[in-house]
Amino acid sequence: MSGRSTPRPKDRQGAGDGAFVRRAKVAILAGVGYLVAFVFIAPYLEMALTALKPDRELTKSPTTFLPKHWDFANFVNVWKAAPIWKNMQVSLIVAAVATLIALAVALPAAYYTARNRFRGRGAFLLLVLVTQMFAPTALVIGIYREMVALNLTDTLLGLILVNAAFNLPFCVWILHGYFSSIPKALEEAAYLDGAGKIKALTRVTLPLSLPGLVTAVIYTFIGAWNEYVVALTITSSPDRQPLTVAVPGFVTSYQQHWQYLFATSLIAIVPVVILFVFIERYLIGGLTAGSVK
């Protein structure tokens, strides 16, 4: 006679009810997740469908949600309708160089404030935080006058300096937090192994603070890439304007090319997506990395 007991009907019914409840919870959570994802994706879907409509479908009323005639040539013709490639080059240069400058300045400042206690340290960090309260829109007149005084209007250097300055406080704060969370004992162990301060910083501290570095890079790059008000104010030449200033030029009082506007908007998303694809694995790797010597 076997020692294994046969489950009673009530036990089987209870187990079945529990499995059903779990499946129902999973289905509900999945449904909510898909709904939230659709809410975020819907604007981009509308942009894509509008970009694929011919001009005659956008000017006549009523318009349809789906294009009656799919015009994929809009993504080719938009490069001929405006100097989009030149504007994209300007945006890439401004965003990339502003990110490098912001990190180059923020790294030593954040590391020093995280590793050293000095008089005025709290006031300095508070001042850095307070600067985040001032938006470029509120300071655009002062920024323009400063650019005129420095003879930097309608130049890439002016755009780079402004974007680097406005993203610098966030970089300092995020890197300060990550450097503070890394124990000093790890650097001291590197000193015992013969490493200097620079080597300990590059071999120990920076790899462990990789999530903070990645966050600072993404935030600064996207902030500089999407900046519009200051670029509109201090630039006037079409070949020196970033993509954000060039995009609204398709819809004016004299012309209305909505298909080109949305096609360019979708094109403008591509560099940011590519950056995130290449940098995501470093972000995940940094989040899961341990501090084991």
Q: What pLDDT shows up at residue 292?
A: 43
Contact between 282 and 210 (Cβ < 8 Å): yes
Joined tokens for residue 43: 């604007």
- pLDDT tens digits, 211-253: 888 888 888 998 899 999 999 999 988 888 899 898 888 877 6
**For residue 83, is the peptide bond before it cis, meaning its omega torsion is within 30 degrees of 0?**
no
Q: What pLDDT shows up at residue 120?
A: 80
Per DSSP, the three-state class of 73 is: coil
State how far the Cα of 244 lies from the Cα of 249, in Å rounded to an integer. 10
Per DSSP, the three-state class of 3 is: coil
Domain ranges of the chain: 9-51, 79-288
φ and ψ at residue 251, rounded to 5 degrees: -125, 100
Q: Is 218 exposed, middle or buried (0-12, 13-18, 19+ CB in 10 A)?
A: middle
Q: What pLDDT shows up at residue 12?
A: 56
Per DSSP, the three-state class of 251 is: strand
State how far the Cα of 97 lies from the Cα of 194, in Å rounded to an integer. 34
| CA max distance for the chain | 99
State how far the Cα of 258 lies from the Cα of 251, in Å rounded to an integer. 7
Per DSSP, the three-state class of 256 is: strand
State how far the Cα of 248 lies from the Cα of 256, in Å rounded to an integer. 10
Q: What pLDDT shows up at residue 160?
A: 94
Q: What pLDDT shows up at residue 5?
A: 55
- Cross-strand pairs, 256: 251
Contact between 234 and 154 (Cβ < 8 Å): yes
Which of 1.10.645.10, 1.10.3720.10, 2.30.30.830, 1.10.510.10 would CATH assign to domain 79-288?
A: 1.10.3720.10
Rounded to whole angstroms, what are the CA distances from 108 to 102, 115, 118, 208? 11, 10, 15, 16
Q: What is the DSSP letter of 67?
A: -
State how far the Cα of 211 lies from the Cα of 288, in Å rounded to an integer. 10
Contact between 270 and 224 (Cβ < 8 Å): no
Would you write out the chain's pLDDT as a tens digit for each of its 293 residues? 455 555 555 555 555 566 777 888 888 999 999 999 999 888 888 888 888 888 777 777 777 777 888 888 888 888 888 888 899 999 999 999 999 999 999 998 888 888 888 788 788 888 888 887 777 778 888 899 999 999 999 899 999 999 999 899 888 888 888 888 888 887 778 777 777 777 777 777 888 888 888 888 888 998 899 999 999 999 988 888 899 898 888 877 677 788 888 888 888 888 888 887 877 776 655 444 444 44
